[in-house]
Amino acid sequence: MKIYKLLNRIAILSLVLLCYSCAEDKYYDLGGFSVGKVNFTAVNLNVGDVDSASSAADDNTYYYPDRNASFTLPVYYFEGYDYGEMKYDKITFSLDKESQIWAGGYNDIKITFQPTVPEETEATFTMPDGSVVTATTASPTFIWHTDSLIREGHYRDLFIKAESKYRKGNVEYANVGYICVFISTDFRFNRFNDRWYRYSWINGDQMVTNTYTKFTAENLTIPGDSATSYNYNFSNTIGNEAKNFFVPYYVYDDADPLTFNFTKEWTEIYVFGNQQILFTFHPQEGEKSMSLTLPTGEHITLTDSDPTYTWDFTISDAESLYYYYNNYIYAESEYYHDGIYYYGQSEMRVNTTLNVVYNPENDRYYRYAN
C-alpha cells in the first residue's frame, strides 16, 4: 500500500511538472525525450515586412501572442466586378496575432528556418496545400506560392507546420512550430504588372472582365455631324449633348431651297443617302483590333495599324436601314493585356431619312421622290 501511494504521488508530481512546462512554452524532458518549438518566420513578398509572422509552438491561434499591426495596399478593381471603369482604392488590413500572416491569391511567401542549436540541422515543412519542403542550415529559405490553393480548393485559416528531430547529448528532441496563414479570396496579386486587384481568385487562374471598346464616326459632308460609341455599363461613354442641324435642300435646281432640320445625340450619327461616314478605332492599352458590324450586316475589322474605314452610304442603304434593318453599329474586341482578358463592346445608332438625299456631283441636297 505504501509503495502504491508513493507511485501515485510521483505520477501526480510528474503531471504537474509537465503542465507547468507546457504553460511556460519551454522544453520538457521525459526520460531522454524532449519536445520544443521549431523557430521559423514567414513574410509575404508581395506586401513586404509589414506582413510577416514568427512561429508558435501549437496550432491554437487563441493562445498566440497579440499584436496591433496593420498595413495598407493600393488595390485596383473593376466597378461592378464585371463591367465598368478601372477604379483604384487604398485598403487597410489588420494582423492581430504574432504568428499570423495575411495572403491573397498568387502571393509569394518566403519561409526562413531559424535553428536554435547547432544540432538542429534541418526541418520539414508541411504547407497548406499539402506539399512538403525540407529546409536546412545550409539552405534555410524557400518560397511557397499560394497559387496551388486554387487547385486544392482550400482557403481561409491554414497552417504552415514545421517539424524537426535531432539528438543533443543523451536527449532526443522532437520539435514542432506553426504559422497561421489567413487567406483572403477577394484579393489577388497580378505578377504581370505588380498590382493588387480586388478580384476573387478561387475559381481559376485567369482574370476576365468586360470593357468598353471605342470608335468614332464622322459624316464627311456635314461639319459637326459626328458621334462616339457608347456602352451602357460605362457611365463615362454616354453623353447627353444634343445638336440641331439645318440642311438646305432643293426640289428644283432653279427654285429657292427649303430647310430640313434634324437633331442628333452625342452617340448618334445622322446620314443621308450618297454620303460617306468615316469610322475610326481608338484602341485602349493592349487592344490591337476591333470588329464592326454595320446595320447592313457587313463586318469590318479595324486595327491599331489600320484604324479607319469609310462607309459609302448609298440610297439603297438608306432605304434598307429605314425599312428593314436594325439601325445600330456594333463593335466587339477581345484582347489580353497585363495578365487580364478583356472583352470589349460598344454601339452607335445610325439615323437617316428618305425625304432628302445628297448629290455629291454638285454638293447639294434634293428632295427624294421614292
pLDDT value at position 254? Answer: 84
CA atoms within 13 A on the CB side of 84: 10
Instruction: State how far the Cα of 329 lies from the Cα of 231, in Å rounded to an integer.
Output: 12
Residue 362 has φ and ψ, to the nearest 5°, of -125, 10
Residue 21 has φ and ψ, to the nearest 5°, of -65, -40
Is it the case that residue 32 has pLDDT exceeding 60? Answer: yes
Lowest mean pLDDT across 83-87, 142-146, 169-173, 212-216: 83-87
pLDDT in tens, 144-162: 998 877 665 556 668 999 9
Q: Which residue(s) pair with 250 in the sheet?
A: 366
Instruction: State how far the Cα of 208 lies from the Cα of 258, in Å rounded to an integer.
Output: 54
Mean pLDDT computed over 63-89:
79
pLDDT in tens, 313-349: 999 999 888 887 678 999 999 999 998 999 999 999 9
pLDDT value at position 156? Answer: 62
Q: How confident is the model at residue 88 (pLDDT cuts 50, 70, 90)?
A: confident
pLDDT value at position 112? Answer: 98
User: Helices (H), strands (E): how many in the chain?
Assistant: 3, 28
C-alpha cell read off for 295: 446595320
Across the chain, mean pLDDT equals 85
Q: How confident is the model at residue 79 (pLDDT cuts 50, 70, 90)?
A: low
pLDDT value at position 81? Answer: 43
Q: Is 63 helix (H, G, I), strand (E, B) or coil?
A: helix
pLDDT value at position 9? Answer: 46
Mean pLDDT computed over 169-185:
91
Is it the case that residue 282 has pLDDT exceeding 70? Answer: yes
DSSP label at 284?
P
The residue ranges of DSSP E strands in 63-115, in sequence order, are 66-78, 86-97, 100-105, 108-113
pLDDT value at position 84? Answer: 52
pLDDT value at position 118? Answer: 94
Instruction: State how far the Cα of 66 lies from the Cα of 49, in Å rounded to an integer.
Output: 18
Contacts with 310 (C-beta within 8 Å, 6 or more apart), sequence order: 220, 276, 277, 278, 279
Lowest mean pLDDT across 51-65, 126-140, 354-368: 51-65
Residue 266 has φ and ψ, to the nearest 5°, of -60, -35
Are 274 and 360 spatial neighbours (Cβ–Cβ below 8 Å)? yes
* Residue found under cell 450586316: 297
Is it the case that residue 8 has pLDDT exceeding 80? Answer: no
Mean pLDDT computed over 227-249:
80
Look at strands 171-190 and 33-35 and give their pairing.
parallel
pLDDT value at position 25? Answer: 44
Are 48 and 62 spatial neighbours (Cβ–Cβ below 8 Å)? no
pLDDT in tens, 251-272: 988 889 999 998 888 889 999 9
Is it the case that residue 310 has pLDDT exceeding 70? Answer: yes
Mean pLDDT computed over 168-178:
92
Is it the case that residue 279 has pLDDT exceeding 70? Answer: yes
pLDDT value at position 235? Answer: 64
354, 64, 62: which is closest to 53 by C-alpha? 64
0.85 exceeded by pTM: no
DSSP label at 289?
E
DSSP label at 273?
B
Where does residue 288 rank: exposed (0-12), middle (13-18), buried (19+ CB within 10 A)? middle
